[in-house]
Amino acid sequence: MHFMRSFCRGLLLTCFTAATPLILAQESARTAPDPLLSGKLKTIIAAHHGKVALFAHQLNTGKFSAIDADLPVQTASTIKLAMLFHAMNEIAEGKAKWDEPITLQPGDAVSGSGILNQFDTPLRITLKDVLTMMIELSDNTATNLAIDRFGVDAVNVRMTDIGLSNTHLYKKVMKPPTGPLPPDQPKFGLGKTTAKEIADLATRIGECRLHTDLSLRPTAAEDAVCKVALNMMTHQFYRNTIPRYLEKLDSSEGSTAIASKTGSLDATRSDVAILAGKAGPIVISIYTYQNADTSWTADNEGEVTIGKLAREIVDAWSPAGLDSKGMIPGLGLQR
């Protein structure tokens, strides 16, 4: 069972990256937002007790929907995708290795999501372990270990280099900054982004477009790195947002058609996902913020709202649903 799960999820990235570089054609392929879908999404948003920023794009058709998609928002843990992307580049370039040792020292652990803060220290693990826990469990301690390894500034330079000027990691999680912070940091906390920029970042990961020059095809080394990274995203532990109404299987035992990264604070719920639609691949980023419901239950209104919006998008663009096997022949992407 576990071999088959890994095999199917490996095919997810293989099929995604076997495509011609659709990301190159994204801007030219977009003409106007899908008006019928936009109306349905706005009805759901109007019922939400809070605010919503959203960007969704079906890569093979160019269909898109954008609601406050260029508005900078509080990322919560979705900014960890920026760290993952930077680490992917460093590994592909031979500047870091999956198996290099990282040591969790006494005093390194922080509270919040994750499991590393429950382990005895000192603890020696690999960089791959660190990034896996950062993505799959949104482990805050693991995130700080990754920041120790690569640095905040390097991540932000990488985001600027690929054109994401409003995507910024400010500091470690639940740790004081080591230097002066930008004046907008108190507003955003750990990080900021826009719904469109983070969706573009997820698309880069899904298509394995690591370079600033999007015309360059992935090398064999980059393909291998991207396969590992996307596999982390398909093992996302928190599945009450975008997968909420779309996934009717046990993704811990079977395969999945959704690779994602979530983010949560008291008044914020967010999710960024790559979905294997039978009618074509869809990238969705949704941020709910200033939410009236600050509870930490499975039925938190922000999480339910994200689930409803994602279901509406998939129903509109891929009526036959998702490829539940996670193999993605339904992506419709061919070399």
Domains and CATH numbers, the chain: 1-69+194-335 (3.40.710), 72-191 (3.40.710.10)
Question: What pLDDT score does 172 carry?
Answer: 96
Question: What pLDDT score does 46 carry?
Answer: 98
Q: How far apart are CA 201 and CA 94, in angstroms?
A: 21
Phi/psi zone of residue 114: left (φ > 0), alpha (ψ -120 to 50 degrees), beta? left
Termini Cα distance of the chain:
29
Amino acid present at 187: K
Confidence label for 178 from pLDDT (cuts 50, 70 and 90): confident
Q: Considering only 214-223, 257-266, 293-302, which range has the smallest mean pLDDT? A: 214-223
Amino acid present at 167: T
pLDDT over 70 (residue 189) = yes
> Considering the chain, what is the average pLDDT of its residues?
88
pLDDT over 80 (residue 217) = yes
- Average pLDDT (46-55) is 98
Question: What pLDDT score does 179 carry?
Answer: 82
Question: What pLDDT score does 59 carry?
Answer: 92
Question: What pLDDT score does 254 carry?
Answer: 67
- Average pLDDT (253-259) is 83
pLDDT over 70 (residue 75) = yes
Q: How far apart are CA 232 and CA 226, in angstroms?
A: 10
Question: What pLDDT score does 110 carry?
Answer: 95
Question: What pLDDT score does 79 carry?
Answer: 98
Amino acid present at 74: Q
Strand partners, 287: 53, 270
Confidence label for 248 from pLDDT (cuts 50, 70 and 90): confident
Question: pTM value?
Answer: 0.89
Question: What pLDDT score does 251 carry?
Answer: 65
- Tens digits of per-residue pLDDT, 197-207? 999 999 999 99
Work out the percent of the chain whose per-residue pLDDT is above 70.
86
Work out the percent of the chain whose per-residue pLDDT is above 90.
79
pLDDT over 70 (residue 232) = yes
Question: What pLDDT score does 209 carry?
Answer: 94
The residue behind tokens 């054109």 is 163
- Tens digits of per-residue pLDDT, 112-149? 999 999 999 999 999 999 999 999 999 999 999 999 99
